[in-house]
Amino acid sequence: MIKPVVESLPGAIVDLTEETLIRVLHVDDDSDFLNTAKQILEMQSSFQVETARSVEEAKDKMKEKTFDVIASDYVMPGENGFDFLKELRDSGSNIPFIIFTGKGREEAAIKALNLVADRYFNKLGHPETVYGELAHGIKTTVKSKEAEQALKESEEK
């Protein structure tokens, strides 16, 4: 039997099995949809999902906590997801923002990307496909933003 040999530096602890949780703020006016999405994403173990039923509630939660990404519907009463995205970008925030909606496929996607959304996903379809795409999109968007930030910091040094 071959035994693996592991050498380590004193005091260094490395846990390669633990994945960092991605903190998601999910904004949608449909509470049933929010609850379902939260359960499905958190079952994948790499997400911690906080929900908000309006843009105002989302802004309040952002004052209390930091999030790695926002996934927002765009058709909501009061302030919509596009208004929220525009407001964040106008204030200088570069938090990854994903439009996750079931309305107006092409038109909405073009508007979202013009407002500098990071991704656009349609929430209609087979749940396994929809949430698989969303989970993958969240992970890749957050990793991309982190790499972008690390490069920027490296260039400044």
The answer to whether position 97 is within a domain reads yes
pTM, entire model: 0.80
- Does residue 5 fall inside a structural domain? no
β-pair partners for 136: none
Per-residue pLDDT, 102: 82
Residue 100 lies in a domain: yes
How many structural domains comprise the chain? 1
> Mean pLDDT of residues grouped by 10 in the chain (157 residues)?
41 47 95 92 90 96 96 90 92 92 71 78 88 92 85 79
Is residue 121 one of the residues assigned to a domain? yes
* pLDDT at 19 (0 to 100): 61
DSSP secondary structure of 53-117: SSHHHHHHHHHH---SEEEE-S--SSS-HHHHHHHHHHTT----EEEEESS-HHHHHHHHHHTT-
Would 17 be classed as within a structural domain? no
Least Cα distance to 147 among 84, 102, 97, 96 occurs for 96
Residue 16 domain-assigned? no
DSSP character at residue 10: T
- Is position 147 within any domain? yes
Q: Is residue 2 part of a domain?
A: no
- Count CB-CB contacts under 10 A for residue 73: 22
Q: Which two tokens stand for residue 23?
A: 């903190």
Q: Which range of residues forms the domain containing residue 58? A: 22-156
Which residue reads 């906080």 in tokens? 50
Q: What is the pLDDT of residues 6-46, one digit of tens each?
A: 443 444 444 433 468 999 999 999 999 999 999 999 998 78
What CATH number did the domain enclosing 83 receive? 3.40.50.2300
Instruction: State how far the Cα of 144 lies from the Cα of 53, in Å rounded to an integer.
Output: 27
Predicted local confidence at residue 105, as pLDDT: 64
C-alpha span between 89 and 78 (Å, rounded)? 19
Tokens of 16: 């390669």
